Each structure stands twice: as C-alpha cells, then as structure tokens.
C-alpha cells in the first residue's frame, strides 16, 4: 500500500490544486490569492520521498511481480469479502479486481521474455491499482451515505458519486488499455 498511497495522493494533491487554480482563471496564476503557491508546493510531493515513478517500480517490480501478485490479491479479495453487494458499483469493483489480476498474470508471463516491460508500464499499473482501491473506498462511502442521507438530504452524495463514476473511475479502463497495448 505504501507506494500506491504515496504516489496516488501526491499526484492528486498536485492535479487537484491545479484545478483549483483554474477556477480562479488568470487571477489564480498570479501571487495575490496564494493558490499558485499551493500548486507549486504540492508539486514537490511527486518528487521527494521517492519519486512517483520509482514508487511505481517499487510496487510492480519489487512487491507485486515476485509473488505473481499473490499478496496484492489476497488483500483485494479480503476487501471484496466485506462489501455490501446492494451498493451501486459493487459489480464494477469486482470486475476491476478480476481485470487487475488477469493483467498481473499476463505481465509476469510477458516479463520473462521482455525484462524492460514492467518498467514501461509501472506507472499505469500503480494508477490502475489506486483507482481500484478508490472504487472500493467509494463503495464504503456510498454504503454509509445511503444510510445517513436517505431522509435528511438525499442529494448530498449524488453529485460526488456522479463525478466519481463519470470522470475518475473510468481512468481504470484507460490504464489497462495502455498496459495491454505493450503486452
Ligand atoms: C524541496 C526538496 C527537499 C528535499 N529534501 C531532501 C532531504 O531532506 N533529504 C534527502 O535525502 N533528499 C531530499 N530531497 C531529494 C529528493 O529525495 C530527490 O530530489 C528525489 O529522490 C529525486 O531524485 P533526483 O532529484 O536526483 O531525480 P533523478 O533521480 O535524477 O530523477 C529525475 C526524474 O527521472 C525519473 N527516473 C529516475 N530513474 C528512473 C527510472 N529508473 N525509471 C523511471 N523514471 C526514473 C524520476 O522519477 C524523476 O522524475 C529533496 C528534494 C527537494 C526538491
């Protein structure tokens, strides 16, 4: 989990703060509001404490491939176990875990003849793993929020859920396509 969390959330911090700057338009780009300093400060998180590319290599080459993904998938299957299958997105999450498992096997196999391959795809692999974990986290949030908001404020979670499913989680498919293209 360490390389996934370090790389995924430092990238999110930078891209998220950059989107915040965008909301200010040209005024965000100048110093007055302070948002440009936050963008710059958040950028270094992707570089120090192990650059995100090195984190991705650590995940795939040092942690996942040596046991053919056994440790990673033991954890993911344990996460699948506790889920409420009535929550929207449940089937999609199980499909993502299955796809990740399949691609991990294919990568281990292909790396026997192409030793550079894991280094080419490590960033995409880490991002796909992070998105699968985010889908899982979102299932927890959706399950809890259904119970909490059904009477008080039914719209409270509808927009974040929509944004997650429309713009964030579909990146998983893109990352897998990029990896498959190199196999
Ligand atoms: C503000 C700041 C504070 C810091 N504080 C400390 C500190 O207190 N203590 C300390 O020890 N260090 C510190 N550092 C150093 C920091 O850890 C390094 O900058 C970081 O590890 C990256 O090393 P590098 O700058 O030499 O980049 P390089 O290793 O030259 O990497 C350049 C780029 O190439 C990529 N890259 C390199 N090798 C590969 C590869 N095999 N595959 C794919 N991509 C690759 C990297 O991801 C990076 O994007 C600090 C850096 C900054 C900017």
The reported pTM is 0.93
Mutate to test the pocket of ligand 1, among 6, 47, 62, 118 (most ligand atoms within 8 A of CB): 47
Q: Domain range for residue 77?
A: 62-182
Residue 47 Cβ inside 6 Å of ligand 1? The answer reads yes
Domain count, the chain: 2
Same domain, 22 and 73: no
Residue 167 Cβ inside 6 Å of ligand 1? The answer reads no
Q: Is residue 56 part of a domain?
A: no
Give the tens place of pLDDT for each residue, 30-56. 999 999 999 999 999 999 999 999 999
Residue 51 Cβ inside 6 Å of ligand 1? The answer reads yes
Give the tens place of pLDDT for each residue, 83-107. 888 888 889 999 999 999 999 999 9
Give 19-42 as a 3 state SS string. HHHHHCCHHHHCHHHCHHHHHHHH
Same domain, 67 and 14: no
Residue 40 Cβ inside 6 Å of ligand 1? The answer reads no
Give the tens place of pLDDT for each residue, 122-150. 999 999 999 999 999 988 888 777 666 55
Q: Is residue 141 part of a domain?
A: yes
| Predicted pLDDT of residue 16 | 95
Same domain, 68 and 35: no
Same domain, 72 and 156: yes
Same domain, 84 and 150: yes
Can 53 be counted among the known catalytic residues?
no
Cα–Cα distance, 161 to 91 (Å, whole number): 16
Give 10 Cα–ligand 1 centroid separation in angstroms: 14
């Amino acid at each position: 989990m360490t390389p996934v969390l370090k790389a995924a959330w430092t990238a999110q911090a930078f891209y998220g703060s950059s989107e915040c700057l965008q909301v200010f338009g040209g005024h965000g780009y100048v110093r007055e509001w302070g948002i440009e300093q936050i963008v710059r400060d958040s950028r270094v998180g992707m570089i120090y404490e192990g650059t995100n590319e090195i984190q991705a290599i650590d995940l795939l080459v040092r942690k996942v491939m040596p046991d053919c993904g056994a440790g990673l998938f033991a954890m993911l299957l344990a996460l699948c176990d506790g889920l409420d299958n009535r929550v929207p997105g449940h089937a999609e999450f199980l499909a993502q875990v299955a796809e990740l498992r399949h691609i991990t096997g294919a990568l281990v196999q292909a790396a026997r003849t192409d030793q550079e391959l894991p280094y080419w795809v490590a960033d995409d692999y880490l991002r796909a793993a992070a998105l699968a974990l985010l889908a899982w986290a979102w299932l927890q949030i959706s399950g809890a929020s259904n119970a909490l908001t059904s009477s008080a404020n039914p719209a409270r979670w509808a927009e974040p859920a929509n944004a997650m499913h429309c713009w964030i989680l579909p990146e998983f498919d893109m990352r897998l396509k990029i990896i498959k293209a190199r196999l």
